[in-house]
Amino acid sequence: MAEKDMNIEAEKEEKELEKDPAPEALEGIENGEKSEDKVDSKADEAAKAAETTEAPEAAEAKDADMAETASKEGTEADDESKDDKNKESRDPRDRQIEELNSKYLRLFAEFDNYRKRTEQEKAGMYNEGERYVLTKLLSVVDNFERALKVVPEELKGSSYEEGIEKIYRSFMDLLTELGVTPIEACGKEFDANLHNAVMHVEDEEAGENVIIEEFQRGYMFKDKVLRYSMVKVAN
């Protein structure tokens, strides 16, 4: 019976130990938690110290930027105020001189453009008038050519034919000096930019699209057509 009582007491003690840990273990656990709390608190203190050390530098940088912007704004405001003061302090006659000078420059530019435009218009009018007069003279040249073609046989080689031919040659020389040149037609290929085809014929001896007869001579004035040639084209 004594042994059973001893065993029962031993089991009770083991159960009590399982329920309530030993005070030394509890102390160790509490000491570990306290040490961790100390480490965390030290880390927080270090972070706060770093923030406090960095904060003045950031504040100084911000203060420097603000001071720089303030100085720029101040200089700009000073410049504007100086300009306003200079404008106000200037003599009214100086301002009037500047206004008149700007008006003069604008008027001069407008007049220069007007002068160039009128010169171009005058040149165009002169060219058109020149072309008109030369076109009228071509009819006189045509009449001389017709007169030379119908000279009677008994008058060929006479002073009459020589006089008509001399007048015709003088007209042609004058037109050449003015820049009028005849357009070649007979035997040339038809060109719509130079010739005016008034008749088409089939001719086996002639080439394709070749001019075989000229009814009225055409002329160029400088680099433009003064009168188109009236021609007959084969094939």
Cα separation of 109 and 117, whole Å? 12
**Are 166 and 233 part of one and the same domain?**
no
Q: By residue range, what is the domain housing residue 174?
A: 93-178
Identify whether 27 is part of a domain.
no
- Residue 209 falls in which region: left (phi positive, over 0), alpha (psi -120 to 50) or beta: left
Helix (H, G, I), strand (E, B) or coil at 215: strand
Which CATH number do you get for residue 207?
Answer: 2.30.22.10
Identify whether 233 is part of a domain.
yes
For residue 163, pLDDT beyond 80:
yes
Judged by average pLDDT, the poorest of 37-41, 155-159, 166-170, 212-216 is 37-41
Q: For residue 182, what pLDDT is reported?
A: 92
pTM over 0.85: no
**pLDDT (tens digit, 9 = 90+) per residue, 61-86?**
555 566 566 556 656 656 666 655 56
**Are 148 and 213 part of one and the same domain?**
no
Average pLDDT of span 129-158: 88
**Are 130 and 162 part of one and the same domain?**
yes
For residue 22, pLDDT beyond 60:
no
**Are 198 and 210 part of one and the same domain?**
yes
How many separate helices (H) and strands (E) can be counted in the chain? 4, 6
